[in-house]
Structure 1
């Protein structure tokens, strides 16, 4: 038992990670990370979640849900900024926790994030496919059901558009980080412009009475579900928090940052600030245009609101750019996910070939593995089941990072570099961030926690059967 614990708690030397990642090209700037972060955070959810959460949980107070979720996310982002500034390794939370607490704890954090990236890539690609097919249908173009849905869902065999999209993004990423950054920057600008157009047009269609009561009265329905009150706001926070977790995609690429001590904090905190402003603005405009009950079971509330307000052409333009902009989320998720897989391979926690760089010093094998697995997930499994894992797994990784600040501070300036950015109000704020993340996790539904538990049991089996077998500790 002592031998197992020794291996589980073995702390990796940070200099080893710096040496292993030295071959990655450090080409990404603050501008690139802002685009990467905004592109990943402000994804499909900004065009759907404000209406869904307003109708199902919080009413006009959906803006409060977004604000509270943003505050918790910001606290975690502070911790991420300090970690990435002092430890600019590929793999984000997995690598950091392996250095601070040991490889077993790092494995748990990394395994949590692995669920996020595998499933999120497939989920976003599926959403892009659905929206793209929805745009084709008014033109009389219909994709056969067998090629439009996942296996066993509504007569589907494979979602061919999802497959093509994932493969296309993988090809772009294989060309190098700097080239992808240019595409990402352009698409993010287009997407933000589309959001601003909706806000400006929607402001003219706001009816003040739709904001009252701002926090609807708490009610319990006959089926056991509830709505309104602060309970509704809290439920909305847990549902919304998924929207903000994209800043991990920035940290995962910190080994490819120019001057990471300055670049990483600015990229992480800056992208989150931009995202928060856009999310709250969209939610306030949306519930102001029409009563929140209008968005019940509405898969495209932004487009619907624009059409109902008499702007069908603008609705088409905004939705068209939104579909194109979904590529930005895929680019961010696949880029970060491949770096996480590379990190596992680098440390031989998963097959060593995943940690091999290609002739362009890119983690090509890890990218191929991520692409294949995401395509299989998107083709076979229904996403109502899989999407539950995204928030639960990531929140667990966030808890590790926030509480890890305490151990990090003891080693900064010694075997770990003194960072240029530090989490403010230490030692109070790391604990507040941990408790806030725990509260959001607690607010997830039963199935999310159950699926997360199953995923972690699988992860522990893989670790003890494979990850611990490698020779690492010289005792």
Structure 2
């Protein structure tokens, strides 16, 4: 239970908590950014209940991909899984790049600096590759390849350090909070180049922008095959990590807004350090940022674990070449781990992926909608061909449809570009399915034998 709670908190409370609150406040919601975080957490929480029941009833590798495969069939399972794969590829590269940027900003204070060629992706500001991001992604992969227990011990330690850094910022910053910075709490609405600012429109835009902050809880479900008593540990890990995360996000947002006018955070990639230096605590800023950089490894560990298990499930089921779904002598899916690592390294080292970042939210929201609706089909089979889980989603049949509608609303709020990129990603997935997966899958082979 402790390991899965640490995995969830470590993945959810990652780079986003040290970057997004200030940016969302400055561009969309103002002080009401706290409402945006709470609303996003409510949406994620509705889906988290569905994830918890699914994980308790079907505790095997693959998360939403495997569940939807069982409930709705191979095609829809592939669509849900392909959506999640976009999340893991892009999110892994996104966090790796965020860690790199914060690390380089930190060492710059001591007069150390990497050349542009090793600091930026290919073709961006004279860049050839983001060396730090490549190194950390490979390091995390090597750690996980040695076993989940080793990764879990490191994960738990880093989560504790990261939560300490967040609380240190909150405690120090509370003494500099000014009431005037919260007035007006909900600024007047106005249209801007970034979309909506102020009013409920700005709060809504903030929800769509920050939703990626909460998607990490599915990394717990993806590793449910390795859980002891999954019917208990899965719901507690998923819901517990989400509750801790939203509390920390709101606290950080409150302090950031309170110590300094929110407009000053525009284009700031490190608002926490910026705020601490502004109120006269440069030493604390160095401590917090150092721990933040180290703590970002927790998100990388969670995403790498979940992504490698998903790719392993694809190979196991024949949706991708079978060798991807083979385990090593220690029963570890290290071939799938290698595939995930190679693709993530290529993205983070050589490709400018900022324009794809919202794919993280887009793909995940589509998967969330599948899982929410899947509860209706699951209930019809629990206690029959699927075990009757100890945990069930409350307020059935109302809550599943609420989870679906809430996810749909957040998806609608994403940028047009994000929806277009998601469409291109799914077209690629459809081509792979109809060219390879449909004829090589385990299901098609079982049908061939019957015939």
Check conservation: 2:39, 2:207, Cα contact below 8 A.
yes
Match among 380, 388, 391 for residue 358 of structure 2: 388
Report the secondary structure of 1:466's partner residue: helix
1:185 equivalenced with 2:156 (yes/no): yes
Pairs within 5 Å for 1:248-267: 248-267=218-237
Report the secondary structure of 2:288's partner residue: helix
Q: Deviations over 1:92-118 (max 9, x none)?
A: 000000000000000000000000001
1:36 equivalenced with 2:7 (yes/no): yes
Pairs within 5 Å for 1:306-385: 306-385=276-355
For structure 1, the residue ranges without an aligned partner over 5 or more in a row are 1-29
Q: Deviations over 1:326-351 (max 9, x none)?
A: 00000000010000000000101001
Partners of 1:446 and 1:306 in 2: how far apart?
36
Pairs within 5 Å for 1:82-97: 82-97=53-68
Partners of 2:137 and 2:23 in 1: how far apart?
26
1:101 equivalenced with 2:72 (yes/no): yes
The equivalent residue for 2:97 is: 126
Distance apart, 1:403 and its partner CA: 0.5
Partners of 1:388 and 1:436 in 2: how far apart?
18
For structure 2, the residue ranges without an aligned partner over 5 or more in a row are none
Report the secondary structure of 1:282's partner residue: helix
Q: Deviations over 1:327-379 (max 9, x none)?
A: 00000000100000000001010010111000111001000111111001112
Q: Would the alpha carbon gap of residues 135 and 80 (structure 1) be closer, same or farther in structure 2, given more than 3 Å must change?
A: same
Report the secondary structure of 2:446's partner residue: coil
The equivalent residue for 1:79 is: 50
Partners of 1:236 and 1:419 in 2: how far apart?
36
Distance apart, 1:212 and its partner CA: 1.0
The equivalent residue for 1:45 is: 16
Partners of 1:297 and 1:123 in 2: how far apart?
17
Check conservation: 2:373, 2:400, Cα contact below 8 A.
yes
Partners of 2:194 and 2:246 in 1: how far apart?
32
Pairs within 5 Å for 1:130-169: 130-169=101-140
Partners of 1:386 and 1:353 in 2: how far apart?
29
Report the secondary structure of 2:11's partner residue: helix
The equivalent residue for 2:446 is: 472
Partners of 1:386 and 1:146 in 2: how far apart?
22
Partners of 2:215 and 2:270 in 1: how far apart?
22
The equivalent residue for 2:212 is: 242
Partners of 1:286 and 1:99 in 2: how far apart?
45
Partners of 2:353 and 2:239 in 1: how far apart?
30
Under a length normalisation based on structure 2, what TM-score does the superposition of the two structures give? Answer: 0.98
Q: Deviations over 1:363-399 (max 9, x none)?
A: 0100011111100111221122121211000000000
Distance apart, 1:224 and its partner CA: 7.6
1:196 equivalenced with 2:167 (yes/no): yes
Distance apart, 1:49 and its partner CA: 0.7
Q: How many residues align?
A: 445
Check conservation: 2:10, 2:159, Cα contact below 8 A.
yes
Distance apart, 1:142 and its partner CA: 1.4
Check conservation: 2:95, 2:300, Cα contact below 8 A.
yes
Under a length normalisation based on structure 1, what TM-score does the superposition of the two structures give? Answer: 0.93
Partners of 1:245 and 1:206 in 2: how far apart?
30
Q: Deviations over 1:263-322 (max 9, x none)?
A: 100000000000010001111111111111111111111111111111110000000000
Partners of 1:472 and 1:457 in 2: how far apart?
27
